[in-house]
Amino acid sequence: DGTYDSIYPTSVSHLLTSDKVAIKVLDKTRLNVQTQKLLSREISCMEALQHANIVRLYEVVESHSRLYLVLEYAGGGDLHTHICSEGRLSEPVAKITFAQILSAIKHMHAKNIIHRDLKAENVLYACNGCVKVADFGFSTMVTNSSDTLDTFCGSPSYAAPELFRDECYLGPPVDVWAMGVLLFFMVTGTMPFRADTMGKLRRAVIEGVFTLPPWVPGPCQRLIRGVLKPVPAERYAVDQMVGCDWLLPSVSGVTTFCLMQCNTSPSHRVDQVVDCGLWNVGPLLFNGCVKLLNIGRTWNTLSYTPIQSIPNMLNG
């Protein structure tokens, strides 16, 4: 946006966490009043969020002429670049990826934080394959979920119809709509609303008409259609997305979820229940592997996904 000199991946590790960091550098002389306001919101929102699927802000350091935001480093690239170069995600990988993004958004909304710029370019991969939601430059904190907002934010391709209508809008449904566009992109490799001018794009989004390829599984189609509803009140809420058929285990008992890494000791019994924010069961981290616990039906059925293999899954 012209205010950042650069974002530098570094070989430096944070002293307290030993995690590799990236440093976002800002020239203070180029920060106008509006940009300062956005930056203040970005910092406040990131400081309030601590979640395995959200890029963490460690420190803000100020010098005479610059600001330095010390961020968690996610060096595995972004989702948009991956899909553009490798094609759409397979269904198992789409589930793994989408479940992590959903977990991050659920956490934000529980903290009354609205992202307002959710898109594939802002979904990053850590070097271990874990998904990280990034870029809180347009984020804002509301008093409660019924507070209305009035600023058009984010990418037009991911913008909800109410934004194009220049209406006051509720924050959570705007993030939900963007998640629907994102899921469509993940499973098809294309965008649901495409146009060669902004006016045509505006009309397409407001009408809310899109076509899903027939090979997209029925449960995934139902989720996308439930999310991409032009009327915000009719749109799925986050909790409805969490409980949708597509993210529930198949009859065969094989489930592929990777909602977050849990600091679970290898000595703990495999059938212990972990609260991972979406369901009351989820991945258990044992010796560097995410063990994905089947939800319901057969409690001792596990699907093992070594966390190092997730990038290979993405490339395969």
Residue type, 33: V
Domain ranges of the chain: 4-72
Q: Which two tokens stand for residue 261?
A: 């890494």
Helix (H, G, I), strand (E, B) or coil at 13: strand
pTM of the entire structure? 0.77
**Which uninterrupted H or E stretch holds 27?**
strand 20-27
Q: How far apart are CA 248 and CA 294, in angstroms?
A: 9
Task: Give residue 258's pLDDT.
Answer: 39
Instruction: Spell out the per-residue pLDDT of the chain, length 316, in tens.
Output: 444 455 555 545 544 556 688 988 888 888 888 888 889 999 999 999 999 999 999 999 988 888 889 999 988 899 999 999 999 999 999 999 999 999 999 999 999 999 999 999 999 999 888 999 999 999 999 998 889 998 888 899 999 999 999 889 999 999 999 999 999 999 999 999 999 999 999 999 999 999 999 999 999 999 999 999 999 999 999 999 998 999 986 544 333 343 333 333 333 322 332 333 333 333 333 323 333 433 332 223 333 333 333 334 334 3
Q: Is 196 a catalytic residue?
A: no
CA gyration radius, the chain = 20
Q: How far apart are CA 187 and CA 87, in angstroms?
A: 9
* Cβ pair 222, 246 in contact under 8 A: yes
Task: Give residue 298's pLDDT.
Answer: 28
DSSP secondary structure letters along 221-269: HHHHHHH--SSGGGSPPHHHHHT-GGGSPPTTS------------TTS-
Fold assignment, 4-72: Phosphorylase Kinase; domain 1 (3.30.200)
* Cβ pair 303, 96 in contact under 8 A: no
Name the β-bridge partners of 207. Answer: none
Q: How far apart are CA 58 and CA 49, in angstroms?
A: 11
Cβ–Cβ contacts within 10 Å for residue 163, how many?
23
* Cβ pair 300, 284 in contact under 8 A: no
- Which residue among 78, 117, 135, 175 is the active-site one? 117
**Which uninterrupted H or E stretch holds 192?**
none
